[in-house]
Amino acid sequence: MTEDVEEIVVIPGDGIGQEVVPAAQRVLSAVANVEFVEADAGDAVKAETGEALPQATYDLVSEADATLFGAAGETAADVILPLREAVDSFVNVRPARAYPGVDALRPETDLVFLRENTEGVYSGHEDRLSEDLSTLTRVVTTSASERLAEYACDYVQDRDGGFHVAHKANVMRETDGRFRDAVVSVADSRGVETEEVLMDAFATRICLDPTQFDVVVCPNLAGDVLSDLAAGLVGGLGLLPSANVGTERALFEPVHGTAPDIAGQGVANPSATIVSAAMLLEYLGYDDEGQAVRDAVESVLADGPRTPDLGGEATTAGVTEAVLARLD
Amino acid sequence: MTEDVEEIVVIPGDGIGQEVVPAAQRVLSAVANVEFVEADAGDAVKAETGEALPQATYDLVSEADATLFGAAGETAADVILPLREAVDSFVNVRPARAYPGVDALRPETDLVFLRENTEGVYSGHEDRLSEDLSTLTRVVTTSASERLAEYACDYVQDRDGGFHVAHKANVMRETDGRFRDAVVSVADSRGVETEEVLMDAFATRICLDPTQFDVVVCPNLAGDVLSDLAAGLVGGLGLLPSANVGTERALFEPVHGTAPDIAGQGVANPSATIVSAAMLLEYLGYDDEGQAVRDAVESVLADGPRTPDLGGEATTAGVTEAVLARLD
Ligand SMILES: CC(C)[C@H](C(=O)O)[C@@H](O)C(=O)O
Ligand SMILES: CC(C)[C@H](C(=O)O)[C@@H](O)C(=O)O
């Protein structure tokens, strides 16, 4: 918690990113002493300049303490994967919870994925070995797995209980075996309990009873798919925030995309981005302010104005003003 | 459809496999002229002989037209992956549907996964490159993808509509890109419509509305996880059958495992294995008999005796007799 001005890089990107990021900026300005540096990325800037992620944006993000990113369209992978690298993000924190008053297939869902954010199939080395054959080299290191595990142990310190480790080590014995062994051994040495679950079994079990799970540590692609599954149980991607956390900086983004069907109409739901901004505040040490923003969003979701995705008729601005009004 | 005796290899395996496979054998015997050759695999035979999959079993399966497998415990991967190879199975057919009268999170779920069954991360080549680093070589070939696509095109011939192709080609550009391109190009050449869906987006979308999907073609691990997700939506693994289909032979298995908590009590639900047997009958050309078995299982699930997993008090034998009684 500091009285200095916090400089935050914002990248609205494409589609509704252009609507929800400014909404979150209003909320950030209301609770903290912040200044914004705006940067470009995504389909639109690619159409103009040929590059989805301009070097200037990459450089800004790799030097900022915190970045808030909206969404990118077709170029999403070209934007978000390098940006995760730019903040040297070793963990993607993905809370998935249902909100009171919002329709959800499993309203009791409330868990957090801690997704490995640097390797697995995302390390990206692929070869075209012949006309018929291509390969991808999936990478797992003990060091990255341990770094993630240390973070997970810190993360669960204030909760009762340890965490689950999801993997597919019965098939990927050497790589996911390494991941599992490294994570479990760090947890053991720190006195944190772990329970293993195969990623396929996890997919069944979370549907049957999501309350079995609290914190779930997983390799990169497993975290991608399983967190999107949890999103389905809480009623879609529209409410889910995320944080790409590195050692010295972090990048925050709603889990949803550009929503081209409603982009430009001013009716996008800003909640996921505003909660991502709350995570950003907490990351910078503004814990009370972060909590206040979360509470305000939750309160508005419970009985305030709603955007059309939640069955209401409110605008992005209307919801944002309601959140601002309920900040205490 | 033939009047010859059909020789079927049966491998009960471990746990409830020992109960549900004999139940399915009773049903098979009631509708077709079959003879069984029993073979061993799994934890129990490993404890005795040191080998989870005896060579004799492998050889039998690799020469039989059809095999019915129950379940294996800890050794599941050591048993089922080589057995899929033994039948040269290029596709794992996994129907996931809810049954009238059975509790399901999404009772409207009714789709079929056609899972690539030979490669992807399952090709299994892993290396320990240093103290810190292991790699896995994920393999995708055009030939395997095309073979799967041809099967999918045949499969959808009697349905209206084409199929979805689930993949993660935005990250695995070369390998899943090859998969997608090969599948889509076969479908195009056969006049079958396809729609692409990223596997993470699929995980969200199937929760929100499973009726969007009918037939879903996917790489090996995607099929593993996404079909288990669908199992969660229909109420668990207890009802789901599957077929590992090769060019000249096939192996059928319930999707569930050994259920150690209830094994030996005679109360395991035999439905998934009996429906797997129906798939086996259809594979051998006994279409009417297969349909009759399906109808009988569906009728019993709707209003017949139920095993404890479905809230009833019936035994495996009781349910099996009810199915036999309703065969017409
Ligand atoms: C856009 C894509 C590369 C990305 C990922 O796979 O990580 C997205 O699905 C996500 O989860 O943020
Ligand atoms: C036991 C395991 C190797 C297997 C797989 O991953 O294919 C199982 O999960 C399945 O889906 O049949």
Quickly list DSSP for B269-312.
--HHHHHHHHHHHHHTT-HHHHHHHHHHHHHHHHHS---GGGT-
Q: Look at residues B112, B94, B197 and name the one whose alpha carbon lies nearest to residue B156.
A: B112
Is B160 designated active site? no
Q: Which of A116, A224, A227, A276 to mutate to test the pocket of ligand 1 (most atoms within 8 A of CB)?
A: A224
- Residue A3 confidence (pLDDT): 64
Please check whether residue B150 touches A, CB under 8 A. Answer: no
Read off the pLDDT band of A123 (50, 70, 90). confident
Query: Which token pair is B115?
Result: 């899972």
Ligand 1 pocket member A81 (CB < 6 A): yes
| Contact between A253 and A276 (Cβ < 8 Å) | yes
Please check whether residue A33 touches B, CB under 8 A. Answer: no
User: What pairing do the DSSP bridges indicate for beta strands A133-141 and B133-141?
Assistant: antiparallel
For residue B131, which residues of chain A lie inside 8 Å, CB to CB?
142
* Facing residue for A77 by CB, picked from B171, B232, B237: B171
Look at ligand 2, atom 10, and give the residue with the nearest C-alpha: B224
Look at ligand 2, atom 3, and give the residue with the nearest C-alpha: B77
Shortest distance between the Cα of B179 and any Cα of chain A, in A, equals 10
Pairwise CA distance, residues A306 & A309, whole Å: 8
- Residue B180 confidence (pLDDT): 98
Least distant ligand from the CA of B240: 2
pLDDT at residue A1 is higher than 70: no
Read off the pLDDT band of A237 (50, 70, 90). confident
| Residue found under tokens 């209980």 | A161
Please check whether residue A205 touches B, CB under 8 A. Answer: yes
Read off the pLDDT band of B237 (50, 70, 90). confident
Shortest distance between the Cα of B38 and any Cα of chain A, in A, equals 26
Counting atoms of ligand 2 from 1, which one is nearest the CA of B227?
11
pLDDT at residue B327 is higher than 70: yes
Please check whether residue A173 touches B, CB under 8 A. Answer: yes
Ligand 1 pocket member A77 (CB < 6 A): yes
- Residue B115 confidence (pLDDT): 98
Read off the pLDDT band of A159 (50, 70, 90). confident
Ligand 2 pocket member B56 (CB < 6 A): no
Q: Cα(A294) to centroid of ligand 1, in Å? A: 24
Mean pLDDT across chain A: 96
Please check whether residue A175 touches B, CB under 8 A. Answer: yes
Question: What's the pLDDT tens digit per position in B187-235?
Answer: 999 999 999 999 999 999 999 999 999 999 999 999 999 999 999 999 8
Taking an 8 Å cut-off on Cβ atoms, the answer to whether A203 and B221 are in contact is: no
pLDDT at residue B281 is higher than 70: yes
User: What pairing do the DSSP bridges indicate for beta strands A110-116 and A215-218?
Assistant: parallel
* Facing residue for B228 by CB, picked from A131, A203, A231: A203
As a whole number of Å, the end-to-end CA separation of chain B is 18
Mean pLDDT across chain B: 96
Read off the pLDDT band of B159 (50, 70, 90). confident
Pairwise CA distance, residues B273 & B279, whole Å: 10
Look at ligand 2, atom 5, and give the residue with the nearest C-alpha: B224
- Residue B235 confidence (pLDDT): 86
Q: Cα(A85) to centroid of ligand 1, in Å? A: 13
Pairwise CA distance, residues A22 & A38, whole Å: 10
Question: What's the pLDDT tens digit per position in B69-115?
Answer: 999 999 999 999 999 999 999 999 999 999 998 999 999 999 999 99
Residue of A nearest to B168 (CA): A221
Taking an 8 Å cut-off on Cβ atoms, the answer to whether A137 and B137 are in contact is: yes
- Residue B141 confidence (pLDDT): 98
Ligand 2 pocket member B76 (CB < 6 A): yes
Question: What's the pLDDT tens digit per position in B25-70?
Answer: 999 999 999 999 999 999 999 999 999 999 999 999 999 999 999 9
pLDDT at residue B124 is higher than 90: no
- Residue B286 confidence (pLDDT): 97
Exposure string for B294-328, b = 16+ CB within 10 A, e = fewer: bebbbbbbeebbbbebbeeebbbebbbbbbbebee
| Contact between B129 and A142 (Cβ < 8 Å) | no
Residue type, A186: V
For residue A174, which residues of chain B lie inside 8 Å, CB to CB?
126-128, 134, 136
Is A103 designated active site? no
Least distant ligand from the CA of A223: 1
Least distant ligand from the CA of B253: 2
Pairwise CA distance, residues B321 & B26, whole Å: 9
For residue A239, which residues of chain B lie inside 8 Å, CB to CB?
none
Residue of A nearest to B142 (CA): A132
Taking an 8 Å cut-off on Cβ atoms, the answer to whether B175 and A126 are in contact is: yes
pLDDT at residue A312 is higher than 70: yes
For residue A219, which residues of chain B lie inside 8 Å, CB to CB?
none
Look at ligand 2, atom 6, and give the residue with the nearest C-alpha: B224
Q: Which of A80, A92, A240 to mutate to test the pocket of ligand 1 (most atoms within 8 A of CB)?
A: A80
Least distant ligand from the CA of B13: 2
Pairwise CA distance, residues B324 & A86, whole Å: 64
C-alpha dist (Å) from residue B247 to A208, A304, B163? 36, 59, 21
pLDDT at residue B2 is higher than 60: no
Query: Can you tell me the mean pLDDT for A284-290?
Result: 97
Query: Can you tell me the mean pLDDT for A241-260?
Result: 96
pLDDT at residue A25 is higher than 80: yes
Given the residues A224, A283, A286, A309, select the one marked as catalytic: A224
Determine phi and psi for B112, rounding to 5 degrees: -130, 130
Q: Cα(A237) to centroid of ligand 1, in Å? A: 12
pLDDT at residue B3 is higher than 70: no
Is A200 designated active site? yes
Taking an 8 Å cut-off on Cβ atoms, the answer to whether A232 and B124 are in contact is: no
pLDDT at residue A327 is higher than 60: yes
Is B46 designated active site? no
pLDDT at residue A319 is higher than 70: yes
What HEC string does B59-107 produce?
HHHHHCCEEEEEECCCCHHHHHHHHHHHCCEEEEEEEEECCCCCCCCCC
Pairwise CA distance, residues B185 & B208, whole Å: 29
Please check whether residue A134 touches B, CB under 8 A. Answer: yes
Taking an 8 Å cut-off on Cβ atoms, the answer to whether B127 and A171 are in contact is: no
- Residue A204 confidence (pLDDT): 96
Given the residues B224, B283, B286, B309, select the one marked as catalytic: B224
